[in-house]
Amino acid sequence: MDEKKDGIESADKKEETMMKDKSTEVKPEAKKEEKQSNKLHDWWSKKNREDKISFWTKCLWWTLGIAFLVVFLLSRQIFGADSILGQMFDQNGFVTIGEWFKNHWAAFIKSVVTVIVALMIYMIFKSIMKLVAVRGKAVKTIVSLIVSIVKYVVIIAAIFIVLQTWGVDTSTLVASLGILALVIGLGCQSLINDIVSGLFLITEKTFEVGDIVVIDDFRGTVDEIGIRSTKLVDAAGNIKIVNNSAIGSVVNLSQDLSVAICNVEVTYDVPIEKIEAVIADHIKEVKAKIPAIVEGPFYKGVSSLDSDAGMEVKFVAKCKEEDRYQVQRDLNRDLYIMFDTNGIDMPYTHYYMYKGEETDYEEATAKDIKKAEAFNKGQKEQAGGIEEQTKN
């Protein structure tokens, strides 16, 4: 009997634990909803105050736009058939739009297909040109210009095809292109100047795609040379777009190797001959640690004795412009290690605080106090009327 009771109790306990497991079991749908809510919370928490205000402003504008569109299309039903807005449609605005699509669906589909095909042609051509541009900077520059020209050609061709689809006589437009070109030539002289300047930039090879240049005090990498403008991107990701005709002077930093300069202060306590001997023994090791150095590093000598703490010695190395700042940082590090491991200190400013010596002084006696007061009073009387004056 006891064994049966134990068996029944154990079975009851198993059922209870199973029920608890089922109750604590989280459904997959609940997990997905929790993950989505966490993602939404993370997305919203990452936004700053300005981004949140911008988001709600956009939502407001979209809401107002949709509301205006609905009111406009249902103006006949809302304001009545006799109102100004109600007279714009013979019936429900949605029905009018539906009938328009029903009567012009073929032309609409052809226009959409034309735009999609034109976009695909441009994207495929651009992808092919990017593969070709891998061969070198000169090829990249020419490809950038060709892609820019093809973009405008595809846009113009697509516009003509769409107009022809909607029944516009494009032959008349083509015939009037001569007069249109004359008007554009007179009214868009700056655009023509940009195009001509762009062609000169390509032919004269002033700079190429991938070069680091300085234009109008903006240092950046040439990302694209278009038919109208040139795009530069600096190390921080800032983009500057300059019209080709506005490029007056250019400093091409990639035309030749750049010079990385490193000035190091060393102590006066060590003879300069000792310092130069250490440099001679270890400068090749510095070059081996910095593979970005093309030529050097070279020791130029003592460049300054102006500092009270130590003398300044100069090192230079030639490298690519895109590596210049990193090479300077690496030189600072490795030259410091070189001097430090060979017992040559780099001076720095020391501050000492002098508190003075602790000395026991005798206190003033009554006789001294009386004498000082009499002396002070007498000096004031004798010096009366004598004051410091500033002569103008």
Give the pLDDT confidence of 137-158 residue by residue, as tens digits.
Answer: 556 667 777 777 788 788 888 8
Q: Which of 201, 231, 252 is the last residue of a domain?
A: 252
User: Is residue 276 domain-resident?
Assistant: yes
Please tell me the predicted confidence (pLDDT) of residue 43: 76
Look at residue 391 in the predicted model and tell me its pLDDT: 45
Whole-angstrom Cα distance, residue 336 to residue 278? 12
**φ/ψ of residue 240, rounded to 5:** -125, 125
Please give the share of the chain, as a percent, with pLDDT higher than 70.
Answer: 66
In a domain, 79, yes or no: no
Of 341, 361, 382, the residue at which a domain comes to its end is 341
Domain boundary among 252, 273, 291: 252
For residue 392, the model assigns a pLDDT of: 43
Confidence of residue 90 (pLDDT cuts 50, 70, 90): low
Domain contains 59: no
Boundaries of domain holding 268: 258-341
Same domain, yes or no: 236 and 283: no
CATH assignment of the domain containing 222: 2.30.30.60
The predicted-structure confidence for 207-228, as pLDDT tens digits, reads as follows 777 788 888 888 888 888 777 7
Label each residue of 220-249 as H, E or C: EEEEEECCCEEEEECCCCCEEEEEHHHCCC
Flag whether pLDDT at 94 surpasses 50.
yes
Q: Is the pTM of this model over 0.75?
A: no
Residue 325 belongs to a domain with what CATH number?
Answer: 3.30.70.100
Position 128 confidence tier, pLDDT thresholds 50, 70, 90: confident
> Is 336 found in the same domain as 273?
yes
Judge whether 371 lies within some domain: no
Query: What does the pLDDT average to over 78-86?
Result: 66
236 and 292 together in one domain: no
Quick one: which of 100, 92, 95 has its CA closest to 74? 92
Q: What is the DSSP letter of 365?
A: P
Higher-pLDDT residue of 298 and 134 is 298
Burial class from Cβ neighbours inside 10 Å (0-12, 13-18, 19+) for residue 163 reads: middle
Q: How far apart are CA 86 and CA 71, in angstroms?
A: 11
Q: Is the pLDDT of residue 278 over 50?
A: yes
User: What integer is the mean pLDDT of 235-246?
Assistant: 81
Structural domains in the chain (count): 2
Residue 291 inside a domain? The answer is yes
Q: In this structure, is residue 330 part of a structural domain? A: yes
Q: Where are the alpha helices (DSSP H) in the chain?
A: 2-24, 28-45, 49-73, 75-79, 93-132, 137-165, 170-175, 177-187, 189-204, 272-289, 324-341, 366-382
The percent of residues above 90 in pLDDT, for the chain, comes to 0
Residues 271 and 237 placed together within one structural domain of the fold: no
| pLDDT average, residue stretch 8-20 | 56
Do 228 and 263 lie in a common domain?
Answer: no
Q: In this structure, is residue 99 part of a structural domain?
A: no
Distance CA(187)–CA(198), nearest Å, equals 19
The answer to whether residue 383 sits within a structural domain is no
Lowest mean pLDDT among 57-61, 199-203, 307-311: 199-203
